Amino acid sequence: MQLKSVEIYDFKSISYEKLEIQSNQICLVGKNESGKSSIISAISYLNILETELDTSLLNKGSERYPKGLPIIIGTFKLDKSVYSKLYKLVSEYISKEDLTSLTKQSENCHLQIKRWGNGISNISISLLSSGKFGLKLSDKINELAKFYDSFFKDIYPSIEYFENEDLLIEPSTIEELLGTDNKFETFRKLLFIGGCQDFNDLNNSDIGFVTTYLSNIETQLNKIFKKHYKQDQSINIKIVTAFGDKLNLIIRDSSDKSFSINERSPGFQYYFSFLVNKLYTKKISGNKNNIILLDEPGHSLHPKGAKDLLKSFDEISESSQILYTTHNPFLAVRNCVDSLIFVNKSANDGTKINKKPFLNKYQLLRRELGIMLNDSFLIGDINLVVEGNTEKLAFHRLFQFEKYRDLEWMNIYNADGVNNIPQAINYLGKNNLKLSGIAILDSDSEAEDVKKVKAYKNNIKENNWEEVEINAVFSDRKTRTFEDLFPQDLYVQAYNNYCNSLKTLEVFEKEFIDFELTKEIETPIVNTLSAHFKTFLPENSKSSITKQDVIRHLLDIIDEMPEKEQTSKLSNAFKLCDKIKTNFLKIEKYANN
């Protein structure tokens, strides 16, 4: 049961907004006070049983202010197995006449839950078919309270909202662990994943038993933690008694000193506590979908710790969904541009979501995070200089393949146009920052012109700079651009997917018709597709294909393929990566001097 969209009415700074969710990992980015946290908080109220709306949440510009309540609507996609489970449950509480309006099996069905208050009388559940209204179940169900008990327990996803203070691990007595105070919830989960099924076992009067029991828990926790926390493998976990009858979590590292968990850095505390909660949720929920909501996770994390946290997010998104806000550039999603959601706020409209996926999202990301590369010394010792964001996006994803992981942290420097490559190399090279690098050039007339520029020639001839052309992986001398590295049928499919995604954005004047590949296209392929694209635009439109979005669609298609087929489709791209890796190793000795 996957959350596909959320509609929010009159919640805090939001008058009305609809968040479309295209992937299992969503990262909300925006300036302070833009309303990112409000969106995450609003979604948390889809956790119907454990949250209560109150008037303090109501948008002050609402006609219902100050006594009304916000309205939250969530739409979920039901896969075949979940629909079958729901159908079986519904059949127990609905008349046979109403049941005939539902099919027994469905692969394209959505469930919509609407909340406008507290209690079961203030929610409605409807089944939608192909986006159209189907059946309002909440009006047809007998014994509604009993139905909701089963629905929320067995079918509805677990929705968990964590703020930083929810993740603290506090020293706890056995009585506090057996209690219900949320302050000790993470410690309870820690012991549970370590193997403690009943906290009463810790009350045993046999000291030897308790000591052995805690030792076994420690062994299990250390095994789990070392698997997930790669930043420091020297860390060991101990659970000891403190302050009389309290249990405390102690961390020992390579310094041979021991620290209570709350004496460690805020970044470490966050990552450790988040890991505990993630593993606990996975253990108790089994195959049930989870939705995890995080507000500013890991804001104190070291960049390496942020990378570990992102890996945890990736693992979560394989089977569940995670939505979070961030100002941390190291926590912004790189591999899927649709996972980046930009939020802004104005005096007239309040909080709004940028709904223009064809824009340059990575440029927006730098702006929203306040990143100005020229103000930073954090430029790589070895830089891969590329023409634009198409190559930057593609190489980021290609370097995720295991055999290219050595290149993952090489800085990919976007020159923002082929004509700017000489200036980029001059800035990075011997005349300024004295860094090393590899320039990636298309095999076309524009690239040939770049090679003649003095600033380019003077820097590229240095021992710590190399040049790789697209045609380095082909045996002929045809004109080619980066896009020609990929099979034409696949690129055309990605182009059609991209264009169809623009249909609702009023980009085209005429209805878009897919390009049909009937024979091999003369390279560069983008010339032919650009001409096709323009036939659907208004006469004087200056719009053009956003090539980075096409390459994103292409790589998304490849991600769904078996490994052997991926290797085949990316054979030319991999050959180029091999050339880059060879040159990287060649000039690495200069970067290390």
**Tens digit of pLDDT for each residue in 57-95?**
999 999 989 889 999 999 999 888 888 899 899 999 888
- Band (pLDDT 50/70/90 cuts) for residue 372 is very low
Task: Please indicate whether residue 542 or residue 333 has the higher confidence score (pLDDT).
Answer: 542
Strand, helix or coil at 292? strand
Q: Are residues 139 and 10 part of one domain?
A: yes
Residue 369's pLDDT band (boundaries 50, 70, 90)? low
Q: Is residue 138 part of a domain?
A: yes
452 with 548, same domain: the answer is no
What does the alpha-carbon distance between residue 406 and residue 342 come to, in Å, rounded to a whole number? 31
Amino acid at 428: L
Please say whether the beta carbons of 76 and 3 come within 8 A: yes
Q: Are 546 and 577 contained in the same domain?
A: no
Interval 231-256: pLDDT, tens: 677 888 888 876 567 888 888 877 77
pLDDT tens-digit series, residues 486-505: 999 999 999 999 999 887 77
Separation CA 180–CA 199 (nearest Å): 13
Q: What's the pLDDT score for residue 573? A: 97
Q: Is 406 helix (H, G, I), strand (E, B) or coil?
A: helix
User: pLDDT value at position 242?
Assistant: 64
The pLDDT score that the predictor gives to residue 363 is 60
CATH code (residue 406): 3.40.50
pLDDT at 375: 45
More confident residue, 110 or 134: 110
Greatest C-alpha distance within the chain: 86
Q: What percent of the chain has pLDDT over 90?
A: 40
In a domain, 257, yes or no: yes
DSSP-based three-state secondary structure for 340: strand
Q: How confident is the model at residue 371 (pLDDT cuts 50, 70, 90)?
A: low
322 in a domain, yes or no?
Answer: no
- Using DSSP, state whether 521 is helix, strand or coil: coil
Q: What is the span of the domain harbouring residue 428?
A: 373-482+573-591
pLDDT confidence of residue 465: 95
Return the minimum-mean-pLDDT range out of 55-69, 313-327, 507-521. 313-327
CA 160 to chain centre: 17
Q: Answer yes or no: is 366 within a domain.
A: no
* 472's tokens: 């380095």
Same structural domain, 240 and 96: no
Residue from 58, 60, 78, 76 nearest 68 by CA: 58
Averaged pLDDT score across all residues of the chain: 86
Residue 226's pLDDT band (boundaries 50, 70, 90)?
A: confident
- Do 545 and 526 share a structural domain? yes
CA distance readout (Å), 157 to 78, 154, 380, 484: 11, 8, 42, 43
Is 493 part of a structural domain of the chain? yes
Give helix 547-559 / helix 488-501 axis angle, nearest 10°.
110
Burial 286-320 (b: 16+ CB within 10 A, else e): eebbbbbbbbbbbbbbeeebbbbbbebbeebbeeb
Residues 451 and 556 grouped into a single domain:
no
pLDDT band at 374 (very low <50, low <70, confident <90, very high): very low
Q: Which of 110-114, 311-315, 388-392 has the lowest average pLDDT?
A: 311-315
pLDDT at 104: 79
172 and 157 within one domain: no
Assess if residue 320 is contained within a domain.
no
Mean pLDDT for 42-50 is: 93
What is the chain's percent helix, strand, coil content, to nearest 5? 45, 20, 35
Residue holding tokens 């049909």? Answer: 516
Burial level of 254, CB count in 10 A (0-12/13-18/19+)? exposed
Looking at the structure, do residues 157 and 168 belong to the same domain, yes or no?
Answer: no
Confidence of residue 373 (pLDDT cuts 50, 70, 90): very low
Most confident segment among 37-41, 171-175, 189-193, 408-412? 37-41
Q: Which residues, in sequence order, are bridge partners of residue 384?
A: 412, 438
Structure tokens at 254: 């390579």
The reply to whether 513 and 545 lie within a common domain is yes
For every residue of 112-169, DSSP letters joined together read EEEESSSSGGGEEEEEEETTEEEEEHHHH-SSHHHHHHHHHHHTSPEEEEE-GGGG--
The domain boundary, picked from 250, 276, 302, lies at 276
How many domains in the chain? Answer: 4
In a domain, 359, yes or no: no
Residue whose structure tokens are 């006449």: 97
Which of 293, 164, 43, 45 lies closest to 54 in space, CA to CA? 45
Tell me, yes or no, whether 52 lies in a domain.
yes
Span 564-590, average pLDDT: 94
- Say whether both 140 and 29 belong to one domain: yes
Helical (H) or strand (E) element with 175: helix 174-178
Domain check: are 423 and 555 in the same one? no
Contact 524, 444 (CB under 8 A): yes
| Same domain assignment for residues 158 and 169 | no
Q: How confident is the model at residue 514 (pLDDT cuts 50, 70, 90)?
A: very high
